[in-house]
Structure 1
């Protein structure tokens, strides 16, 4: 199967990308003027006297939106742009050069696929308007040999980017831990000790954005996602029952909480649904880095987040592997996944 970016530019949307009417974005949801500014947090203050303020801003933004943007985050602009250029060059390679990486096997450490299906139960094989380069990016020394040798700049630039974004994730999780009243190293170790995943999402310009989506509505599964969305809008977040667009900011990262974090915090922090719409004028590329747990570690509400009868644990313990299986079963549906792990307490009269 070809990547969408390798197809001749169609004048109309091919049938297999046309979603049922109830799954399509409304016309007014495709307008940029509906975009709102997510809270923008300057992480420079976290290094000094402003640490408590930054922590407060993260917690407030997380509870209100489940998303925020960070600037002055310590990842150099040339590192961000350098890897984005390398990834774009990968998608521009000839079809035959990319074909050897094409796979629908989810356990491959480096693969390319196109037009993910709308659901595991769909029989019509309707697909989303997205090409994706999915890889494991950290620890670098362990995983680099899986990465392609072409384009020539790819490995070196990915290595630099992965290391710096991993460090940013570690710093953010320490701030989040402090904001929750946990030890600042609470999230280190097995809770974030799995191989870090990366999705490089490429959305070609689309003949009819009103008929399709780039990615379905979903919540992320793991503890934290750090996204470089570039300068083209398309990401939308569910907020108070409506879809709002996330305005791009130069060299900022969009940060959002995953379902694992929601369950570890016993629901104090939530993983919010989001999706991607397409546009007819420009291609869009985003780079999502997903911080994952060790697959065999036990995950459940932190002891500090529960309190006997007044605030009992809402979720049972589970492993990282169980989380992945549940996510695949529910196709990323937030409520369906949480229900698989929810504890239903019986109230005594």
Structure 2
């Protein structure tokens, strides 16, 4: 009887595992914490103004004034306790948005606003969509003795889109901009034709809160879990000792062990993997230049996409690390 599809897959998997085993090479992976730098640097700013204007009245059908909208966003920003958040009132904000719409700021354009509110920074938001839609629909009630029984559902959708600009008021310089969109849905059910009303103001606040949270996430240094992968070789049991050092966070000790292995075994069949492992230890120990040199040594021995990706990842990680150092200095 010819082998079935499952049997063929098992046979292929067995051959693959056998090939890996016979080559003496596998992988060991684990996660380590790595810090990602903030995308928006507010560390120099203590008092930050918040100004919100509606720039597209045709896309707004919610009765909510610019002053109330500015107050709402200011309150939401205040949950971030690292700064003092100050509402910039509409009669001050409107001339501001005329200034901000220019191609470039001139010295003194923001000085009056800075002095009046004693601001170190400014977040200017332009709302171009703030729309609420609602409908009531009827649906049959399942498992009812009355075939004509219906239930009624009031469904609401709140949408908001805002474009934010961030300014360093001390230097009167623009430092960041970005747009975001979010929507919130809610519904209430009833056996009566008129279901209870929805909390439209609550939906508006929830939508704005999400947009503020998205922004504040960009202002924080975040610790991410990054996967680390070492290549194991049956010919060199010492690799396991190096991996144990790495798992314990002892990257310098791991690098010393891998360096000794690589330098003492230049003609080994798996020499490229020894240099790769050394590169991993250097990279996560913060010695990015040595890591790239080690990856390049591995690539010179064995042309592999793995080593190309390792070099690219190391360059990216180095750039993020340098940004983090610069931000911490400030």
TM range (shorter): under 0.3
Higher strand share: 2
Higher helix share: 2
Q: Which is greater in Rg?
A: 2
TM-score calculated relative to the size of structure 1: 0.21
